[in-house]
Structure 1
Amino acid sequence: MTNTQDHITVLRVDASARKNGSISRDFTNRFIDTIADRVDVAILNHDTAEGLPFVDEDWIGANFTPTDKRTEEQKEKLALSDSLIADLQAADVLAIGVPVYNFGVPASLKAWIDLVARAGVTFKYTENGPQGLLTGKKAYLFAASGGTQVGSAIDFAVPYLKHALAFIGITDVTVIAADKTAVDIDASLQAAEDQLDSALSGFKQAA
């Protein structure tokens, strides 16, 4: 992606339980700080580690009730989902921190996906299958793992997120991976640095 816009909106989504010492948060910070020096950036922040509700029976009932027939309680039940989706719709770029926990994504990040993947809002069903409605966006996944190699047969985090994003229309996805840090942290961080530099090259330097 070569950015040609003078202003972009970035939606940052964090998921690491660590507020300090998190590799995924660190690379996401550096990505956003660098592009903010190059273009005018508005940042929307969601830290899923601070807690998101899980989808429950009442939420499902509200979601499948036609908009014009929802009760006030149902509207309130969907209010957080509506807000998260509004930020997603407003974003040009997504920067998602992806710590790999036990081969998959943290439960809080899965909860975020469940809240923003809504039929008729972020995707729709057609005679040719589901169609994502959030097109024209770019996503960056900042993945970090101790022992799981990103993209390997035991990585159920990054492929899942790429599929979930594509399902809602976001197919342009770049992965910056600091994986297997428990094996060789220096090599892992250097590889991620190189990937980050390559990703940042798509954003023009300020004049």
Structure 2
Amino acid sequence: MKHKLILCLVCCLLLTRTAHAQWIVTDPVNLAGNIANTIKEIATASKTVNNTLSNFKEVEKLYNDTKRYYDALKKVNNLIGDAYKVKETILMVGDMTEMYVGAYKKMLSDPNYSPEELSAMAAGYAKLMERSSESLKELKSLVRSGVLSMNDKERIELIDRIYNEVKEYRAATSYFTRKNISVSFVRAAKKGEMARVNALYGSADNRYW
């Protein structure tokens, strides 16, 4: 019973407002679902990026519109057990999107990639976004109705599975980003353009992927 109560309360705890925020989560129970829908839109938009910064602006806008939810969620503290994993799962999806949007925008201005390579990268990110979106939709379903239809063991196992799935997607996004950028570094080294590439992507110490 305690676990069920915690899981229900996490949705209420997601309701966070700062002095600078001008919005309120009016329906916290749908937070995971709302983010899942936006991630799905990002994945769809990514398939039509067409290798230009102007076409990428829609992807960036969708991420910025959702970022406020991630920022608010980060301020929710002292969660344990199921509630903590629900929060961390949503935040990992936020990390994935940040890696994609931040890195791919730089790749679009990097002459070391061909248009075909950029398209392939966008498709790879889109697939990872789609999978994480499906995981969040499943999480939303659990938070909304699963507490009434599942026993503690089943609920905990499902949350753990979703958490671990998203954790793998996040690791894959980080690896995919690093591998893609490493291609540019190799090509830049051959052309003697390391300074330019370092300036674009930052030093190894301050890269966030």
Check whether TM > 0.5: no
Q: Greater share of strand residues, 1 or 2?
A: 1
Q: Which has more radius of gyration?
A: 2
TM-score by length of 1: 0.30
Q: Greater share of helix residues, 1 or 2?
A: 2
Higher-RCO chain (CA-CA 8 Å, sequence separation at least 6)? 2
